[in-house]
Every structure is written in structure tokens, then in C-alpha cells.
Structure 1
């Protein structure tokens, strides 16, 4: 192992199991330390082009257009809101937690008229309610958070897309998949999803800082045929589409400087995901198995999942209510003392009542690390300690 990598690894011995950023492989960490390169060099253009193609492959798409832009996952909301929805047009937001509120806020910022269909905490919106809403008025887009990181609820985006195609086929289906890409299956073409937006730091196993948006050719045509100017400058596909096409053809082009080192890290992770020893299909199976393992172990000792049923529970993360009589101060600091870093509650209605665990990427697909077992053991130990302290 390179000395620089050893130093970086020794900087912390803690296991990072929040729902992103996640642990990254040594190869990704090393790639992120790539020597500085010109973003206009042919060597970098080739790497960037590979990233575009591999991103498409992860979503099982033949011709969708990826946009890889420096920024957080939040930038995906801006791209959708400014490029696909014109001021005054209607947007339907399917709400399963905190992040739907934020997407709705972004859409409204760019002038959309937004309606929300809200599920109970831990639940999903009924497809019949989505159908009724689509029949009530014309919507330019329907947005669905595939996995809402605040609740660990998994929405059936395939089912939602089927409803939209049947009832309102001109409406675009937008998947906020920041917390699901590479840990949950997404067949973009076959399911009829028009935009998948995500980010580098979750299932894609790369450090934060890259906004990843993939648009179907149908969505690109809607963008190209809009009657008013795009309402964002940095997020404008008018600026970025020629850049992405140039890089995919292994030619450099410039609008704004890409995060060069992060692209190298993303390339390393994508190569492992699409060409590594664990196939993409087996990767999804491994996430399901790890999810069941953690959830079952947690429930056996007294925790309760936030999702209302197993079929709406995410495979890349778990949200757990504290047992009766216990709170965050009883559990989270004790986990930290055992070098297990989890995330506190985020959903306003239940914020103090639960916490969240991420289990994505290398922690799942490399069992030799023992990450899943370490999380389960720590949960059992800290709950026993908390009970003893209250006895």
C-alpha cells in the first residue's frame, strides 16, 4: 500500500455507516489522490468519457444522457426544475419524507406550481392516488424519491412510472435516486423513467462532490423544445450538453472546470461496480441480504424500523426507532465510542425518536471487512449498556 494511502487510512479508525458519505475502497481513495491533470487533456477526456458510459450502464440504459457536474445531489433538483419545468407549469411531488419537501421547494423557486401527495411517516403514496391526481390536471413532471434518506422508505418507481405512462404519457417521471443508485435496481429504459438524479457519495462509493443526473432522450427533447429560456446558468443543459457529448467522444470541451480528481475516483468506483468480481446483479442481492441481516438483528433486540412494512424498506440503509425509554443520547454516543458512526434523525415529525444506518457499497460487497457484523455487534452491546445504565 502506498504511504500516502496508509496515512489517509490511519487518520480515522471509525467505521462510517451513515447513509452517505460511505466508506470507499482503497482503489477509489488512491484514485482521488491522482496527480493534478488538465481538464482539457486527452487522457482526462478518455476517463471522463468512460464515466459517462459506465453511469449509463449502471442504470441499464442504452441512450440516456448523463450529466456529471461538480456539485452535490441537490444540484440535480436545480437541473430538473430549471431545464424541464417552465414557469407556471404543474409539478406533482410524491412525498415520502424530508427530501420531497426540499424538491418541492426547489421546483417552486424556479416558478413551478407544485402539488404534493404525502404518505404517512414510514409509508408510501398509493398508486391510485397518483392516478387520481394525474387525471385531475396536466402535470409536466411527477417526482418520486426512490429512497428517502430521512425515512429509509423505498418507493416503487417502476409502478409509479407505469401509472404515468398509462394515464398521462406526456408527463415526465423524475426519480430522486440520490440514496438508491447502485444499491437498488433501476432499469431506466425498461421502466420508462425520464430522469434519474443521484450523487457520488452513497451507493456509487465515491467521495462527495459530484452531481450525477441522467436524462432520457424523451426528457432531452422536452428540454430542447421548451418555449422559454432555461432559468439556471450553472445548471443549464444548454451549457452542459455539448460538454458531455464532447467528453464521451474523447474530446475535451469547456464550460466550467470539472472536479478532475473526483472524476478519477468515480472512474475507479464505476470500474469496480461494472467490471469487478461482483456483478451488478449480485451487488443488488448483497445489499438485500445485508439489509435483512441488520434489520432482523435490530428488531430482535428491541429496535423497530421506521418503514411500515418490509416491502417499502430500503436495501441500502435502515432507519430505526429507539426502544421505549431510550433516546439518541443513550445509543448514538455509545456507538461512536465503539468507532461506529451512524446518523441521527432527520424527519421533523420523528426527529428525536430514531436514528439511521447506511449499508452501501464496499461495506456490503466485501464481507471480509466485517462491517455488517461490526454494526450488529455494536448495536447489541450499546443497547445492553444503555439498559444497564438505567437499571
Structure 2
């Protein structure tokens, strides 16, 4: 007899939970795309998208997912034969490198494995070795959605500056946008890649590029830019249609407007970041307790190197897959699969799973998911340490008393 009846909780790292307000904003008839309210509303999106990324630079919006946003970034920055240094800390760093290579870019990989962030000393060594400054850009994920490693973007900019290397700094923030602290201008990021389906709480289908004036100037005349991916008309539109290279994604835009109201204007980015930081620590507190006995482990050992939007975990053998299925079918909580952490079909692949805590998520949702996970381990006879739920609730209590550390 399943206890999964009732409202299910999708705790995967995107698509994330969508607020009723966002869904209701999208639930309307097709609008007039030639004049009136839609055009006026869309004009209000651009300053708020810049506020989201903490930038005064430029922003372009695309109809597409995160992979489309990668392609847009590649098309606008590179020419065929250009070289890029790609810093890999999980599946999605590798994916961006592969995307660039398919478009004719020479991607030199610097791989740091699947359980650690980038090593800035190794990056500095690679940049020093590039005496001819052949790397046009350095590509990195802020938080890799698969490994959940979080990279030090501010530190990476210092390394580039210390080495006197002119490469553009390009960052994939798809898993971290509106979850982890991100300050594009303060950190000297030249191109920022984002998407709608995670921290932004909007259905998949919108990709974003924020880009600096330096990136714009450096990449003029490149030969990969096509009419559809070109960021120039999208960011500097002479008329509504140019923003979208055709018909606008109308209902996604209504949802985006509502989400930005909630994040930028009502909660505020500093508070959004602090909420995600507390919820992440809540998950980690439970994980530390479970790790005291048995095979349970958090994938990233150092808390400072973990993303605040999603946490990758593992058990042993097929226990991760067994736990995921129990949580979904017996209790209504869907956890994420262990994406890209091991070869498909191997026992290690079934060991990994992920719990998302991104976007429209609060304390009772995270505590509920953790309670279900513990109940699943008990029901399945999976060995684990005790005291996880007490540790998690203590973290929430500390936040309530104002004792939490900063969002950073």
C-alpha cells in the first residue's frame, strides 16, 4: 500500500518546482504580439534580468534550453579554429567542451574529476604555459549540476588577471543562477550562461546570455555567429521582434515576469541566496549524520566547494537506485538520478542520486524530503548513521534564531 497519494514533490535538479503564481501567470489566452501589454511587459524584463546577475552589462534571451544557451555563447564568441581552455568538474563542463568542439573550436580540457572543484594553481600553470595567449576564452561551470561541485569564479578571475592573460571568462550558471551568490560585474565575468528551469522557477525553454562590453568588442567579426544565435539584435533590438528573432515565447515571458517579481523585487537576491545557503546546509547536516555509518556519502567532501542548489550523494551498489524508487513510489518524493557520475549500467551508476533544493523551495519541503529518505533507508535495510533529522532541524532552528552564516 503506497503512501505516495497526494501532491508529489519533484526534488530533481530541474525542471524545478514552479510557483502557482508563475503557472497562473502563464495560464492565459494567446496575447497580441504586435502592440500593447505584452510589448510593454517585456520591456520591464531586461533591467531585472541584469539585477538577477548583478550586472550593468548586456543580456540576450533565446528560446531554448541550457544546451541552446551554450551554443549561443559558442556562436557569438568563437571562430572556427579558436582555442578555449575548458575547466571540467562534472558532466556539464564536459558537455560544454563537446558542444564547442562540434562547432569547430579547439577545446583543451583541464579535468579535475567528479568530486572536487577546480584547482586554481593548476589553472594558473595552464595559463602560464599559453605564452602566445592562444586561448580566446576560459570556460567553466559555476555549479556542475551532476557532481554539484561549486567553483570559485572570483578566484578564477584573479588568476587570469595575475597571469596577465586576456582570455574571456565564460561561466555556465545554469544550476546556480538565483541560488548561489553570483556577482557578474564584481567578479569580472565576460559571458554568463543561464536557463529558466532551475532557480528561475520557469518551465524549460528560455536560455540567457549576459555579456560584457569587452566580450562584445573582442568577438566582432567572428565566423560562427549566425542570424538566429547573434546576440547583437537580441540585446540591442530595434523593435520587439528582434529580441527573439521571430515570434516571442509569449507564455514563458509571462511566467518569467512573475518569477522576477518574486525573486528580485519581493524577496531580494541577497535573501534568496541566504535561503538557499541555509537549505543546503540543512541537507548537508543530514548527510553528515548518515555518513557516520554505512556507505552513505556526499559527493563533494568540502562544504565550501558544494553548490547551494543541489547535492549529489551516493550509497553502494544499487542502493541509490533502490532508495530513489522507494521515495518516489512509496512516498511521493522524486529524487534526481546520478547523472554522469559513472558509466551507465554499472553498479556505481546506481549508487549515485541527487537531491535538489533550488528555486521555489522552503524548510518544510527540504525537511520532508530528508525524512522520506531516512524512512526509505530504514524500510530497505540500508545501513546509515543516526541523528540526521535532528541535525537538519537544528540547522533550520539556527536560521530562525539569526545564527546562520552569510550566504556566500
Fold agreement, TM-score > 0.5? yes
For 2:178 and 2:326, locate their aligned partners in 1 and report how far apart those are by CA, in whole Å: 30
Aligned positions of 1:114-193 closer than 5 A = 114-137=107-130, 138=133, 139-193=135-189
What is the Cα deviation at residue 43 of structure 1?
1.7
What is the Cα deviation at residue 160 of structure 1?
0.8
Name 1:23's counterpart in structure 2. 17
Say whether the 8 Å CA contact 1:134–1:168 is kept in structure 2. no
Name 2:282's counterpart in structure 1. 293
1:102 aligned onto 2:95: yes
Change (3 A) 1:159 1:346: same
Name 2:269's counterpart in structure 1. 280
Give the match's secondary structure for 1:342: strand
Name 1:86's counterpart in structure 2. 79
For 2:112 and 2:242, locate their aligned partners in 1 and report how far apart those are by CA, in whole Å: 45
Say whether the 8 Å CA contact 1:203–1:361 is kept in structure 2. yes
For 1:205 and 1:166, locate their aligned partners in 2 and report how far apart those are by CA, in whole Å: 37
What is the Cα deviation at residue 378 of structure 1?
0.3
Paired positions, count: 366
Name 1:386's counterpart in structure 2. 380
Change (3 A) 1:98 1:325: closer
Name 2:353's counterpart in structure 1. 355
Say whether the 8 Å CA contact 1:42–1:252 is kept in structure 2. no
- Choose the corresponding residue for 2:106, options 113, 123, 137: 113
Give the match's secondary structure for 1:55: helix
For 1:253 and 1:133, locate their aligned partners in 2 and report how far apart those are by CA, in whole Å: 38
For 1:46 and 1:348, locate their aligned partners in 2 and report how far apart those are by CA, in whole Å: 45
Name 1:333's counterpart in structure 2. 325
Change (3 A) 1:325 1:27: same
CA shift digits 1:342-377 (9 cap, x unpaired): 11111243532210111012213xx4xx21111111
For 1:307 and 1:202, locate their aligned partners in 2 and report how far apart those are by CA, in whole Å: 20
CA shift digits 1:239-278 (9 cap, x unpaired): 53343x645xxx98662222100001011000110111x2
Name 2:304's counterpart in structure 1. 311
Normalization by structure 1: what TM-score?
0.89
Change (3 A) 1:342 1:114: same
CA shift digits 1:221-243 (9 cap, x unpaired): 123x33x4334342122453343
5+ long unaligned stretches in structure 2: 343-347, 384-408
1:261 aligned onto 2:254: no
Say whether the 8 Å CA contact 1:41–1:252 is kept in structure 2. no
For 1:173 and 1:321, locate their aligned partners in 2 and report how far apart those are by CA, in whole Å: 32
For 2:202 and 2:243, locate their aligned partners in 1 and report how far apart those are by CA, in whole Å: 24
Say whether the 8 Å CA contact 2:333–2:372 is kept in structure 1. yes
Normalization by structure 2: what TM-score?
0.85
CA shift digits 1:177-234 (9 cap, x unpaired): 10000001111111100111110010111111101111111111123x33x4334342
5+ long unaligned stretches in structure 1: 1-10
For 2:182 and 2:29, locate their aligned partners in 1 and report how far apart those are by CA, in whole Å: 34
Name 1:234's counterpart in structure 2. 228
Name 1:55's counterpart in structure 2. 49
Give the match's secondary structure for 2:121: helix
CA shift digits 1:330-353 (9 cap, x unpaired): 201111021101111112435322
What is the Cα deviation at residue 169 of structure 1?
4.3
Q: CA RMSD in A?
A: 2.0
